[in-house]
Amino acid sequence: MTSINNIKVLISEEKIQARVKELGQEITKKYEGKELTLICVLKGSFLFYADLVRAIRLPVRCEFISVSSYGAEKTSSGEVKLALDISTPLDGRDLMIIEDIVDTGLTLKYIRELLSVRNPASIACCALLEKPEARKVEVPVEYRGFTIGNEFVVGYGLDYDQRYRELPFIGLCE
């Protein structure tokens, strides 16, 4: 395994980029003829979102939402707080929540419930990573990049105490 600054590469930049292209193609096929509203969950999804938006060949609208549950810890506080909401009406729109990682599932469940009461035509989620062993609540993830073990990862948007977001790969933070 290669390592940079004590961060061991778990998923390489090449693998991420190839998978993002595949996800883009899958989503394009599924929503053919429609306009999709892509919701970036800040901050962790910003790189994945920017790449995925360009891999989807559909008319899209870009929206941003921010929630927090971690602070400077490596485990979820279990309490999800809304820091930035979407101000545009979402009635009749096909929504896709773009998440960096689904860990306990609490954040995604909160966001899905928040958006579902705004009368969208549909809601789906595309997560770059999923940790099935850490799941605490049932919540659907329609599209996923990679499944990983119950370990803390950084890079490609993901942080530990606001660091390492700039790494182009997903690494293990020890």
Interacting residue ranges for ligand IMP, rule: CB under 6 A: 44, 69-70, 76, 99-108, 152-154, 158
Minimal distance, residue 75 CB to ligand IMP, in Å: 8
CA atoms of 137 and 121, how far apart (whole Å): 24
Q: Is 103 assigned a catalytic role?
A: yes
Nearer to ligand IMP, 25 or 77 (CB): 77
Q: How far is the CB of 66 from ligand IMP (least distance, A)?
A: 10
Question: Looking at beta carbons only, is 20 or 41 nearer to ligand IMP?
Answer: 41
Q: Is 36 exposed, middle or buried (0-12, 13-18, 19+ CB in 10 A)?
A: buried
Q: Min. distance of Cβ 69 from ligand IMP in angstroms?
A: 5
Compute how many other C-beta atoms are within 10 angstroms of the C-beta atom of residue 149: 11
Phi, psi of 170 (to 5 degrees): -95, 125
